[in-house]
């Protein structure tokens, strides 16, 4: 995987505002298939930096390379048609239906009708707007959030290798935004596009980005992976910007798998109750996880349960909800531990087999690094 997009000392000075550099010697390299989130306070030059990539804004000096080619050498129209573009203020074409909006660039590229129709339907499906209901509507018949989703679908229409997205989920409610972000990451995992993603929300930047590019007054403050930005903020500005809770934010990035304590003491539910008691005294564990013959979680046993009379473990075990798959974030894990006041959380794999436990101590250890 080579470098797909690189900024080389790019500077932008707007005519009429010569004393400020809207973008000041910005340089960074983006690998093929990475999402780079541009983040920073309002007016820091995020949109400006992004729009220089498809030459909507001409740069003052420096150069931008896409796939090793200097964009100044390319034909503007061809360059732009090869880059998906989602703008901050949505900008759907009000005179065209949703279907026509999405199909406009494919049409200009001369795709055949069937292919266009199929593509439009897939895209509407991705952004969670049923095609048969929305395809013939006009933008004005949609809510702001729905329009923004159409904007995203339109940007992806020709499946471009490079995409520019300016706050694509800005007008969408938290639930749908979360859904779209996850959906987008899922697609991205498959399609591996190189994306410049502008946002002012640091949480979104951290969630979506393979690289986070933090700008301030047109200057690059830090360009790093989200993990690194949280653990090693370059200066006080970054520290402030990512927030006092940056340690907690890292919990979002890490999965439970990273802090798992493997091979917990378990007991088959077909065993005698007495056996369970023996194991507990031997290991000194206060709780014992019960599993079925496949190793799947069925419940747990504590000292209280042992006092109950019953032949087998199955008869005395208690039900539990304190489990999560190992792909969940540490934040969810911690939240689960706190909300049920647990000592530990049971961690399962995809097929619900018990693979370990999660203790707060281990989380602390991970965060300390």
Site for Mg ion, rule CB under 5 A: 47, 88
> Token match 């436990």: residue?
357
Task: Pick the binder of ligand ATP from 37, 45, 148, 177 (CB under 6 A).
Answer: 45
Contact 72, 113 (CB under 8 A): no
Contact 13, 42 (CB under 8 A): no
Segment 95 to 134, residues that bind ligand ATP, using CB under 6 A:
none
Q: HSE (CB half, 13 Å, CA atoms) of 357?
A: 18
Task: Pick the binder of ligand ATP from 21, 46, 249, 250 (CB under 6 A).
Answer: 46
d(CA 304, CA 317): 10
The two beta strands, 3-12 and 61-66, are: antiparallel
By CB under 6 A, the count of residues binding ligand ATP is 13
- Which of Mg ion, ligand ATP, another protein, none sits in contact with 43, Cβ below 5 to 8 A by type? ligand ATP
Q: Is 44 in the site for ligand ATP (CB under 6 A)?
A: yes
DSSP run (H or E) holding 355: strand 354-359
DSSP structure class, residue 25: E
SS3 328: coil
Nearer to ligand ATP, 42 or 351 (CB): 42
Nearer to another protein, 10 or 363 (CB): 10
Nearer to ligand ATP, 47 or 146 (CB): 47
Residues forming the site for another protein (CB under 8 A): 51, 54, 56, 77-83, 85, 87-97, 104-105, 108, 133, 136-141, 151, 154-155, 164
Q: Which residues of 40-52 are buried (b: 16+ CB within 10 A; e: fewer)?
A: beeebbbbbbbbb
Nearer to ligand ATP, 43 or 310 (CB): 43
Site string for ligand ATP, 200-239 (x = CB under 6 A): x---------------------------------------
Nearer to ligand ATP, 81 or 200 (CB): 200
Q: Least distance in Å: CB of 161 to another protein?
A: 14
Q: What is the 3-state secondary structure (H, E, C) of 131-158?
A: HHHHCCCCHHHCCHHHHHHHHHHHHCCC
Q: Is 14 in the site for ligand ATP (CB under 6 A)?
A: yes
């Amino acid at each position: 995987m080579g470098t797909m997009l690189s900024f080389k000392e790019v500077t932008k000075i707007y005519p009429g505002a010569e004393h400020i550099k809207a973008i000041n010697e910005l340089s960074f390299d983006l690998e093929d298939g990475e999402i780079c989130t541009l983040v920073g306070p309002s007016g820091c030059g995020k949109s400006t930096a992004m729009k220089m990539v498809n030459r909507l804004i001409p740069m003052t000096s420096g150069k931008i390379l896409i796939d090793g080619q200097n964009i100044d050498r390319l034909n503007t129209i061809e360059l732009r048609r090869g880059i998906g573009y989602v703008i901050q203020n949505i900008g759907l074409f009000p005179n065209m239906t949703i279907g026509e909006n999405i199909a406009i660039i494919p049409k200009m590229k001369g795709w055949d009708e069937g292919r266009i129709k199929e593509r439009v339907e897939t895209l509407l499906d991705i952004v969670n707007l049923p095609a048969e209901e929305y395809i013939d509507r006009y933008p004005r018949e949609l809510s702001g959030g729905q329009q923004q989703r159409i904007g995203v679908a339109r940007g992806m229409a020709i499946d471009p290798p490079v995409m520019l997205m300016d706050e694509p989920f800005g007008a969408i409610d938290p639930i749908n935004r979360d859904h779209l972000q996850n959906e987008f990451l899922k697609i991205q995992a498959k399609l591996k596009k190189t994306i410049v993603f502008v946002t002012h929300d640091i949480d979104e930047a951290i969630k979506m980005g393979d690289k986070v590019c933090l700008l301030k007054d047109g200057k690059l403050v830090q360009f790093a992976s989200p993990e690194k930005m949280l653990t090693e903020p370059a200066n006080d500005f970054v520290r402030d910007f990512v927030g006092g809770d940056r340690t907690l934010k890292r919990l979002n990035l890490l999965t439970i798998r990273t802090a798992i304590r493997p091979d917990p003491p378990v007991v088959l539910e077909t065993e005698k109750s007495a056996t369970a008691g023996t194991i507990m005294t031997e290991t000194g564990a206060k709780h014992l996880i019960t599993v079925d013959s496949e190793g799947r979680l069925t419940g747990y046993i504590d000292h209280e349960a042992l006092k109950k009379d019953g032949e087998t473990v199955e008869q005395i075990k208690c039900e539990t909800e304190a489990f999560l798959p190992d792909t969940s974030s540490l934040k969810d894990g911690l939240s689960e531990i706190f909300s049920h006041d647990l000592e530990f959380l049971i961690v399962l794999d995809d097929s619900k087999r018990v693979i370990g436990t999660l203790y707060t101590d281990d989380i602390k250890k991970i965060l300390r690094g």
